[in-house]
A and B are shown apart, each in its own frame.
Chain A
Amino acid sequence: MSALRILVPVKRVIDYAVKPRVNKAQTAVETAGVKHSMNPFDELSVEESVRIREKKRAPGGVEDICAISAGPAKAQDILRTAMAMGADRAIHVDVKEGDDLEPLTVAKLLKKAAEEEKSNLVILGKQSIDDDSNQTGQMLAGLLGWPQATQASKVEFGEGDSVTVTKEVDGGVETIRAKLPMIITTDLRLNEPRYASLPNIMKAKKKKLDKKTLTDFGLDNEKRLKVLKVTEPAARQGGGKVEDVDGLIGKLKELGAL
């Protein structure tokens, strides 16, 4: 089996525990001064890559784990986190603050990166918790012409570059098999990401972080979608509480729900 060269795209997003607020101009969600961290699904991708190496799960071994992120200078923080978790090196593609890339552009960028880095496995999160698109991995697979296994909850390696992936689907799970090179996107139950230890955070500072721009990949930040406005969702008003079960049934009947 080929040695694995894993590419792990990670995205810096507003921390999952923060309740996002729409800005006054209704053009976007307020990001200034808001806590950001690595997209939770991307933590799963980094963790899985590192576990494949540590547990020697791939017969051909793991030759390289490269984290990549496109975003403002602060995206380097999450690349350092990925390296502290066990990634060998990182690539930062500098994009101006607030000038977000659309998934199709990210997929085009990752295609070039995967080719340049001679990756044979790309592990992405199933979706980012800011845009909630759930597209990049599938788009990348399409552009590269590689097989894809989305929403993975289990990944196993076999002989002859074969990879068996259990995926979460509506109503249960589905198992598929494909050959390297391939694309996997992670679902929540794949693993539990580790916390980076202090010594590993220190070590990560010495790991290689390449800085690039979109132009280096022959791309520009082309926008196909124009955001016309961003608004708060219609607020729901709590209807108050009732004293007992009879009160609950009575209220539900009154609301026409029973």
Chain B
Amino acid sequence: MFALLRKSWSRQAVGLIPQTNANHGAVGRNQLLSTLAILEQREGQLNQGSLNAFTAAKQLRGTIHGFLAGSNVSAAAQEAAKVEGIEKIIKVESSTYEKGLPETYAPLLVENIKKGNYTHVIAGHTAFGKNLLPRVAALLDSQQISDVTVIENDKTFVRPIYAGNAIATVESSDSIKVITIRGTAFTTVTPGAGSAVIVDGVDPKADTSAEWVSEDLAKSDRPDLGTASRVVSGGRGLKSREEFDKVMLPLADALGAAVGASRAAVDSGYADNSLQVGQTGKVVAPELYMAVGISGAIQHLAGMKDSKVIAAINKDADAPIFQVADVGLVGDLFEKVPELTEKLQSS
């Protein structure tokens, strides 16, 4: 009885949004859908990958607003406003939100979501989105749907579970649907001739209970792993960090590719943590994924099996990677990769 009471109370608390009451017919529902897409920025630079939230939002066919917060976000807001089909960009300019600390950013989003009566909130399933959105969802009493790969309709979503070994289709009964999307499952958007209005959002100025201390990000001139069109990835077969760099980096440069690594290579110290591709690292889906010295464990496949073309070089002809590779070459990577690099450079 108590549980029942609690339930109805909590439902009421989030029932602030009149149009989501189920008694509306399917007709006209689309006009009432409104999505807030959370964009990421760093030091005033818009994270282009985060614009994919707009691609997902467009599939919901309602109105779309974008959200940006940080120290100096005007230029990034103007850039995002050029994406076609977006009605409004809400920006909150304050150093409080620069580092995206969820203790302050979540209350900020909750205020703006309530004010805008959104039916859907979408962010990327990135370190930022993963950290922030569940906190927002809990404050809205909504059960988030993580790492969505397909939007079937305004309440039905598809997402991989069990490291991509199964695909679940779920239907949400929440009045505000909070979702994170797998960026590589939605086409890339580029700012075009759009002209969204830019407005200042509400700033609840919540007290922060956490402070940002420092960061150490790997610097690289190569394309970003998460969004690169080509990725070359090395595994335990590389034997050492020196060999990894000596063999993989020239290959990456010959292909104009980003560099990735298997968990085994990362755990052995051959490559940085941030390069890890897999269930516990990054999920990539480039045009070409070249796996070098990687056996193809379940956890690695979860991070790359949606790549368009997979190539594998491994000395073990029975390695599981060959079961998913479109083209496989059995041989010693220390001979084959330099030969490949040379032939790519000279062609």
Contacts and interface: CB of A to CB of B under 8 A. Distances in A.
Interface string B152-178: 000010001111111111111110000
A236 B310 CA distance: 10
B209 A249 contact: no
A98 interface: no
A142 B106 contact: yes
B161 A132 contact: yes
Given A102-B143, A175-B213, A232 B327 contact: no
B339 interface: yes
B127 interface: yes
B165 A220 contact: no
Contacts of B211: 176-178
A199 interface: no
B254 to A, nearest CB: 11
A135 B146 contact: yes
B279 interface: yes
A174 B343 CA distance: 40
A164 interface: yes
Interface in A30-84: none
A130 B323 CA distance: 24
Contacts of A143: 138-139
Secondary structure at chain A's binding surface: helix, strand, loop or mixed? mixed
Interface residues of A, number: 85
A145 B216 CA distance: 28
Nearest to B288: A257
Interface string A172-216: 111111110010000111000000000000000000000000110
Given A135-B134, A171-B217, A248-B340, A176 B162 contact: no
Interface string A149-170: 1110100000000001000111
Given A132-B161, A258-B288, A227 B138 contact: no
B interface residue count range (under 10 / 10 to 19 / 20 to 34 / 35 or more) = 35 or more
Given A169-B215, A176-B101, A133 B146 contact: yes
Nearest to B146: A133
Secondary structure at chain B's binding surface: helix, strand, loop or mixed? mixed
Contacts of A247: 329
B311 A232 contact: no
Interface in B266-300: 272-274, 279-280, 282, 287-288, 298-299
Interface in B173-220: 173-174, 209-218
Interface in A225-240: 225-233, 236, 238-240
Interface in B327-345: 327-331, 336, 339-340, 343-344
Contacts of A241: 317, 322, 327-330
B236 to A, nearest CB: 16
B147 interface: yes
Interface of B: 2-4, 6-7, 99, 101-103, 106, 126-128, 130-139, 141-147, 156, 160-174, 209-218, 226, 230, 263, 272-274, 279-280, 282, 287-288, 298-299, 305, 308-311, 313, 317, 322-331, 336, 339-340, 343-344, 347
Instruction: Give 9 nearest A-B pairs by CB, closest first.
Output: A138-B134, A224-B143, A172-B217, A139-B138, A142-B138, A239-B326, A135-B134, A142-B135, A178-B210
Given A107-B138, A230-B161, 13 more contacts: A29-B162, A29-B165, A133-B134, A134-B134, A141-B135, A150-B130, A171-B217, A174-B212, A176-B210, A176-B212, A218-B6, A238-B322, A239-B328
